[in-house]
Amino acid sequence: MSHILIIGAGVVGQATGKGFAQKGHEVSYVDVNLKTLAKLRDEGLPAMKMADVDWPKIDIVMLTVSTPTVDDNIVLDYIETAAADVGRGLAKTRHFIPVVVRSTVPPTTTEQRITPILERMSGKQAGVDFGVAMNPEFLRQVSSEQDFARPWITVLGCCDQRTFDLLKQLYMPFGALITQCTPTEAEIIKYVNNVYNAVKISYFNEVHAICKQLGADSNLVGAVVARSAESMWNPLYGTRGGVPYGGACLPKDTAAFMAFARQMGLEHLMLEATMQVNKTLEQKIAAVSSPDQIEAALATAHFYNQQEGYDEQENAYILEINTSGQSRAATYG
Ligand SMILES: NC(=O)c1ccc[n+]([C@@H]2O[C@H](COP(=O)([O-])OP(=O)(O)OC[C@H]3O[C@@H](n4cnc5c(N)ncnc54)[C@H](O)[C@@H]3O)[C@@H](O)[C@H]2O)c1
């Protein structure tokens, strides 16, 4: 059993801490908000200021501090301050502690901003003296503790194998599929996950406006599409990058529905953006008319899976999605 230090005892921090405590781990909380600390202590939980942490007793650190967006830009001051405090704490330890970023942060933040702070303040080397990981949280605020206890997926973006092995052991009892990737991939997964939900909601809201003007029941339309559209029942449909949509129906029906909405005096910005994105892609690679042709199209395009450092044979991912869109291997879970 590990002693886990949660830094930032808000919604995610408390759900994380309580979830690990239920699995038998010792959990302590740190926060800058004195009211939060008092509330946790009232619940009988060990909550303290950073200065009071007994660092030699800590096995794992989880950063769950706020990362608010102000004027459309993320504020990283809180997590950077917390990282500096953790770095000073690491200097007081002699054992290997994984530092896990659980806050939502823009891609590259963990490796390019948090890790250098930890190294500078501790005088130690990441991956050698301490570990660094990005492990995004997908819980919903309304059901935070239940969602943490029963995750759909666990994403472990780690720089070193030792950190991955430690975190894998920690998360195995939760029973979700574990995906191994880089910290940057983990950061991107979190954003793409949320933005995908946002895009879907926006699309159906525009559909709702069209239905309303026609006197049609948009909830019925949405519920039927949730069953009928391949992108709803086949989770990998449309998730492979680099191929514009084609075939007999998607280009003509998308254009016709947009024109129809315009004639009704309605804006359908999602459709306009969709058509624009496809047109731009089509300038790079021709649209294909069936999924069988995707492979050949991508091979001609020479830009899929060709990034420097990506080695398919090395199986960089535990959960690997192959290029024909099938789940190839789920080693853990
Ligand atoms: N709330 C959600 O549903 C949810 C879901 C997934 C991910 N997230 C992400 O998780 C992170 C935390 O979100 P939250 O909803 O728990 O936020 P929150 O505001 O509820 O909690 C954050 C806590 O961090 C504390 N804090 C700030 N700076 C600190 C510091 N330097 N040291 C110690 N504590 C500090 C704050 O006092 C606060 O108690 C954010 O990045 C958020 O985007 C949130």
Q: Is residue 175 part of a domain?
A: yes
Q: What is the CATH number of the domain that holds 37?
A: 3.40.50.720
Q: How many domains does the chain have?
A: 2
Query: Average pLDDT for residues 8-29, to the nearest whole number?
Result: 97
Closest C-alpha among 157, 149, 147, 148 to residue 178: 157
Residues 177 and 240 in one domain: no
111 CB near ligand 1 (under 6 Å): no
Q: Does 316 map to a domain?
A: no
**208 and 287 assigned to the same domain:** yes
User: What pLDDT digit, counting tens, does each position of 128-166 carry?
Assistant: 999 999 999 999 999 999 999 999 899 999 999 999 999
159 in active site: no
Look at residue 319 and tell me if it is in a domain.
no
User: pLDDT value at position 331?
Assistant: 37
Report which ligand 1 atom has the smallest distance to the Cα of 15. Answer: 16
What are the angstrom distances between the C-alpha of 218 and each of 69, 118, 205, 214, 272? 32, 51, 9, 10, 20
What's residue 14's pLDDT? 97
Percent of the chain with pLDDT over 70: 86
From the list 106, 130, 115, 151, the residue with the least C-alpha distance to 16 is 151
Question: What domain range is 243 assigned to?
Answer: 191-307
**Is 235 within the bounds of a domain?**
yes
pLDDT category of residue 329 using cuts at 50, 70 and 90: very low
Tokens of 28: 């302590």
Is residue 34 assigned to a domain? yes
For residue 246, the CA-to-ligand 1 centroid distance in Å is 43
Residue 48 lies in a domain: yes
**Residue 30 bridge partners (DSSP):** 7, 48
Determine whether the shortest distance from the Cβ of 9 to ligand 1 is under 6 A: yes
**Average pLDDT over all residues of the chain:** 88
Q: Are 303 and 281 in contact (CB under 8 A)?
A: no
